[in-house]
């Protein structure tokens, strides 16, 4: 880099700078009760999910990516909506802090005048997680873990989500999640699991096929 500013963590990992194309800020947060929806602008925003207890996050993203609807059977879900900083006005126009713009001198890609941000923990590549479909010793189908540790402030952002399961018919789980705040005998782990299954019935017998994530999944932590 021949101009601008770069910031590194104590272990030498690059964090932000004028060469970064985009950063994200939290523009909305709340909870969605079972069966309800939240809208977003897919060109500038993404939605991420969390829950405060053990359980599933299952729902459906509509065809245009502008609406997510929580499935009616799976309780209250926490969400945050993140937007690109270059498209969102700052929360305040303070006279302190730091503001970073691109080399054009005007496009903002970071500012400390946003009140809430996120830390990206990891990005899960497409076609890498879903459901192993191999039963453990308890007869359970454990999900692939995308985060290990206390998930209280950790959110999972799918590219899109699809869940349609009907008893006796089958259906689809695509980019759905399971939160483990406490370990159980069936699932002795703490963290977040990702699921993906296509299920169908043939001659009265159910068949499950591994269905990997078709888009990236961002694992992130809300800050501020």
Residue 131 lies in a domain: yes
List Cα–Cα distances, 97 to 113, 114, 208, in angstroms. 7, 10, 53
Chain centroid to CA 154: 9
Mean pLDDT rounded to a whole number for the chain: 80
Q: Picking from 6-20, 90-104, 143-157, 170-184, which range would have the lowest pLDDT averaged per residue? A: 6-20
Q: Which one of 121, 149, 177 terminates a domain? A: 121
Do residue 115 and residue 10 come from a single domain? yes
Do residue 165 and residue 88 come from a single domain? no
Do residue 193 and residue 157 come from a single domain? yes
Do residue 78 and residue 135 come from a single domain? no
What is the CA angle 26-27-28, rounded to 5?
A: 100
Portion of the chain with pLDDT greater than 70, in percent: 70
Do residue 56 and residue 159 come from a single domain? no
Q: Which one of 88, 105, 121 terminates a domain? A: 121
Residue 1 lies in a domain: no
The structure tokens listed for 96 are 């302190």
C-alpha 131/C-alpha 201 separation (Å) is 18
Do residue 96 and residue 168 come from a single domain? no
Residue 153 lies in a domain: yes
Do residue 14 and residue 105 come from a single domain? yes
pLDDT tens-digit readout, 134-177:
665 555 667 889 999 999 999 999 988 998 877 667 788 889 99
Residue 97 lies in a domain: yes
Do residue 131 and residue 66 come from a single domain? no
Are 58 and 178 in contact by the 8 Å Cβ rule? The answer is no
Residue 215 lies in a domain: yes
pLDDT value at position 2? 47
Q: Which one of 121, 146, 171 terminates a domain? A: 121
Do residue 30 and residue 93 come from a single domain? yes
Q: Which residues pair with 166 in a beta bridge?
A: 170
Tell me the mean pLDDT in the region 94-107: 66
What is the CA angle 136-141-144, rounded to 5?
A: 100
Whether pLDDT at 215 is above 80: yes
Q: Which residues pair with 119 in a beta bridge?
A: 221
* Confidence band of 60 (pLDDT split at 50, 70, 90): very high
Residue 30 lies in a domain: yes
Number of domains in the chain: 2
C-alpha 88/C-alpha 86 separation (Å) is 6
Structural domain harbouring 192: 122-223
Residue 201 lies in a domain: yes
């Amino acid at each position: 880099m021949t101009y601008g500013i770069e910031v590194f963590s104590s272990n030498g990992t690059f964090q932000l700078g004028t060469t970064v194309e985009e950063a994200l800020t939290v523009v909305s947060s709340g909870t969605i009760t079972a069966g309800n929806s939240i809208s977003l602008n897919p060109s500038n925003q993404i939605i991420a999910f969390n829950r405060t207890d053990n359980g599933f996050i299952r729902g459906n993203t509509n065809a245009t990516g502008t609406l997510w609807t929580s499935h009616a059977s799976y309780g209250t879900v926490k969400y945050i909506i993140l937007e690109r900083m270059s498209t969102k006005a700052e929360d305040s126009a303070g006279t302190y802090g730091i503001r970073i713009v691109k080399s054009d001198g005007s496009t903002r890609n970071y500012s400390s005048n946003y009140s809430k941000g996120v830390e990206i923990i990891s990005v899960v590549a497409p076609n890498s997680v879903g459901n192993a479909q191999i039963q453990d010793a308890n007869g359970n189908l454990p999900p692939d873990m995308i985060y290990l540790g206390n998930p209280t402030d950790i959110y999972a952002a799918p590219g899109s989500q699809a869940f349609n399961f009907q008893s006796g018919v089958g259906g689809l789980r695509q980019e759905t999640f399971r939160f483990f705040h406490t370990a159980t005998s069936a699932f002795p782990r703490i963290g977040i699991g990702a699921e993906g299954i296509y299920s169908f019935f043939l001659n009265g017998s159910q068949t499950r096929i591994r269905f990997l994530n078709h888009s990236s999944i961002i694992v992130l932590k809300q800050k501020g």
